Structure 1
């Protein structure tokens, strides 16, 4: 006889803590989502970027104390004053007062500063950032700092895609950030913002994301006329990538980058009656009227070595000649390697800069030549002594150019 018994109790499941009512799982912040997408190579690039920015601020500090405009001064200028040089005044005046302030002179009149030579992209961004950062110079530096970070990330990824080696991106960015004119990437100028749009556009084109590439190039065209050179390179890259008729469906995107120059020209036409007012302003203010390449070379050579200019400007023209030679060398290399799209970008840049009365701003423009930096990385990888020689020369030159800029001695 068996004794009846109650069935064994079922083992209770452990209690699960419940969220308070109304609680929701928080999404990561944009900063955390961005950080999660960074590769170790990206982090190395950004760390190098931050370190070089710190180095520029150290140089700026020394310039304020050691090289004052008034050698008898007992106080340095304000911390932001050394950044308020040359082209910065044009961007500031456009952002603050517009292209045609009321009561002032107009294009071609006595006292006109030819501000219409500058495209509106950077001043528009500057005006927007100024609503948050009330100091104009700090706003401009913030734009360049953020844009420069985007640019070096994109440059590192371009190099990582095109060059062998896991550290190709870091090596390319190091060459770029320690180049002689790298100070202009940090100043409140257009270089950083342009590259922050142009380099991701080129990356998108390499992935055949033509809509994204066209939109970014369109924005780059609002910042600098160099965006049109990038648009031409994209067109060549697109045609080289066409394999079947349906690939041509993306062709209309390539017309988008022409929109900002057309709109800006239409605006100037409405105010001045001249569709090419921006080009006329360049001719009046910076002698950018057309001359043959050999005439431009002759004028620049005379300014550099003919004792017709002060020594500071003569040195600037010597740098212009060297930068032109470097650009021609890169162009020849790209043609030899059949990198047609990049060759078109460099060729158009050289043509635009090399057919004025004399060369002007070519060393600064070299910052925009990403094929220069990837090609230099490839060459210095094969020849380590060339890399050592580059840093031995570029490092001191970068310091000299930065000091010249901070003390108002060189426009670049």
Structure 2
């Protein structure tokens, strides 16, 4: 894509507050990265402060925290009040896995990268604190540190990715700011995989945008040890190297492209397969184990992850469509609406490009650059967004869609698109920012006090 001129934003108040510090001169990429990291850090501190205050004012809905962080001394009470706000719901599993390994079969729904990083940080960076804190407390601190540093890294990498793809400084910066205001903000600071996975996702996407496919495959392979979504990322290799293949090129060149794509896909999937292989070795092939072989071991494609999601968490096609789940669907409605609107906006802009899978377009013009969100560079990301939206509304626990989509760049590109003057489909700027801020604020208060959704 040929980079266009800087986008003109129509929300004057928002523009003045966000760009005030950088309006005088055109900053370098390095200085803008520093500004993005600074705002990301401020957002983490603000979320922490709001969570601690709301926890002090509101009684917890659940007392499970007392089992992990018992309160027997003043120091333990202080630790619980300051850091316990990030230890909720799924966080308990990650702390338990980090401390004891995989003890229960249902824990295999939670992938090992975050627990491994928690243990590593606890045993190195936080080791000097062992005389002050118990090992469990050290792991909690490590998890919080990993998540928050990962969020800052994710914010920076999304800025770099956006700038690389579209070449528009302000659009990239606004995208990063909207990501920092993400409605799933509390989950990005808690002991959850959202931030590490987003950082790895955006880094891999940045490598792919630079045609550094091997680096992208390796990074995405690591991401597959954090969340299963990473198995979808080979779609970028398939799109770039196969779908957009030059059919007039020599046959040997295209064969090499197919082989290259195959190797890259296998590298990408290696992370997920290694996690499944560990589960298989633990429950199915370890003859000296005291554990009995589980029924999923005899499946045609044995996968502990799919079994656990099905058996313990009731994840399956249309299983969530029950009357009692209506509140969860209402909770998810804003992100569903935003996603559906963004996908429709992109698809309807150029039907020829849509049906040709990006091989031809009736909108492309050198004299009239497309808005970044509507450009061809966005196409594979829209396909990913569509696949994830379909999976979310048919199969996933729908209440997690907002945090699950924290790793999907077009969510934030479409949000930034709303601030472009005269761009097709723009016009929700105030609604978008209100949703981001209000949903995020409510989420902090609910999560900090152990209220759903999780």
TM-score by length of 2: 0.70
Q: Is contact 2:165–2:209 with CA below 8 Å preserved after alignment?
A: no
Match of 1:351 in 2: 390
Q: Which residue pairs with 2:121 in the alignment?
A: 129
- State yes or no: 1:372 paired with 2:414: no
Task: Report deviation, 1:340.
Answer: 3.6
Equivalent in the alignment of 1:139:
142
Cα separation, 1, equivalents of 2:225 and 2:278:
13
Aligned residues: 348
Measured in 2, the distance between the counterparts of 1:190 and 1:329 equals 27
How many angstroms does 1:317 deviate by? 3.4
> Which of 324, 341, 346 is the equivalent residue of 1:303?
324
The aligned runs of 1:283-362 (5 Å cut-off) are: 283-291=310-318, 296=320, 298-299=321-322, 302-303=323-324, 305=326, 314=327, 316-336=328-348, 338=354, 339-356=378-395, 359-362=398-401
Distance in 1 between the 2:117 and 2:396 partners? 32
Partner Cα separation in structure 2 for residue 136 and residue 125 of structure 1? 10
207-216 vs 250-259, greater mean Cα deviation? 250-259
Q: Secondary structure at the match of 1:179?
A: coil
Residue matched to 2:6: none
Aligned counterpart in structure 1 of residue 98 of structure 2, from 86, 95, 99: 95
1:207-246, aligned counterparts within 5 Å? 207-240=210-243, 242-243=245-246, 244=249, 245=253
Q: 1:56 to 1:164 in 2, by over 3 A?
A: same
| 1:154-303 alignment runs, 5 A limit | 154-163=157-166, 165-240=168-243, 242-243=245-246, 244=249, 245=253, 248=257, 250-251=260-261, 252-273=263-284, 274=297, 275-291=302-318, 296=320, 298-299=321-322, 302-303=323-324
1:110 matched residue in structure 2: none
Which protein has greater RCO, CA pairs closer than 8 Å, 6+ apart?
2
1:194 touches 1:224 (CA, 8 Å); kept in 2? yes
Matched residue of 2:233: which SS?
A: helix
RMSD: 2.7
State the match for 1:50 in structure 2: 41
Tell me if the contact between 2:221 and 2:272 (Cα under 8 Å) persists in the aligned partners.
no
TM-fit CA distance, 1:89: 0.7
- Counterparts of 1:405 and 1:171 in 2: how far apart (Å)? 27
Shift of 1:358: 5.3
1:397 is aligned to 439
How far apart are 1:196 and its partner, in Å?
1.2
Provide the residue aligned with 2:133 in structure 1: none
2:236 & 2:340 partners in 1: Cα distance? 17
1:178, 1:395 within 8 Å by CA — same for their partners in 2?
yes
Does the C-alpha gap of structure 1 residues 389 and 353 become closer, same or farther in structure 2, counting only changes over 3 Å? closer
Tell me, which stretches of 5 or more residues in structure 2 are unaligned?
1-27, 62-73, 128-137, 285-296, 355-377
- 1:58 shift after superposition: 1.5
Equivalences for residues 33-112 of structure 1 within 5 A: 39-69=30-60, 77-100=80-103, 107=105
- C-alpha displacement at 1:267, in angstroms? 1.8
Q: Alpha-carbon deviation of 1:268? A: 1.4
* Residue 119 (str. 1) matches residue 111 (str. 2): yes
Are the equivalent residues in 1 in contact too, given 2:200–2:223 (CA < 8 A)? Answer: yes
1:218, 1:227 within 8 Å by CA — same for their partners in 2? yes
Deviation at 1:187, TM superposition (A): 1.3
SS of match in other structure, 1:286: coil
